[in-house]
Amino acid sequence: VRVENIHAAARASYMLRVFDLLGRQVLAAEIAPGQSELELDTSQMGNGVYVIRISNALEVTTAKFVLQR
């Protein structure tokens, strides 16, 4: 899965975490300063609805996505 249009500040790093609907973290990745996209390996994840959370020390953004193969 490709995550695009990440607006990471040039001097801040972010953490991307993916959770299933039971709240279990199933994936994590660091977003480097200035990075605008990230490729996630979802091969070990089953079909379903997931919550993606991107955060740094000052802000948190969340969104849902559906993984269906």
**Three-state DSSP string of 3-62:** ECCCCCCCCCCEEEEEEECCCCEEEEEEECCCCCCEECCCCCCCCEEEEEEEECCCCEEE
Whole-model pTM? 0.81
Q: What is the β-pairing status of strands 25-31 and 60-67?
A: unpaired
User: What was the pLDDT predicted at 46?
Assistant: 95
User: What was the pLDDT predicted at 8?
Assistant: 55
User: What was the pLDDT predicted at 51?
Assistant: 97
pLDDT in tens, 20-38: 999 999 999 998 887 778 8
Q: How far apart are CA 69 and CA 47, in angstroms?
A: 7
Q: How far apart are CA 1 and CA 37, in angstroms?
A: 11
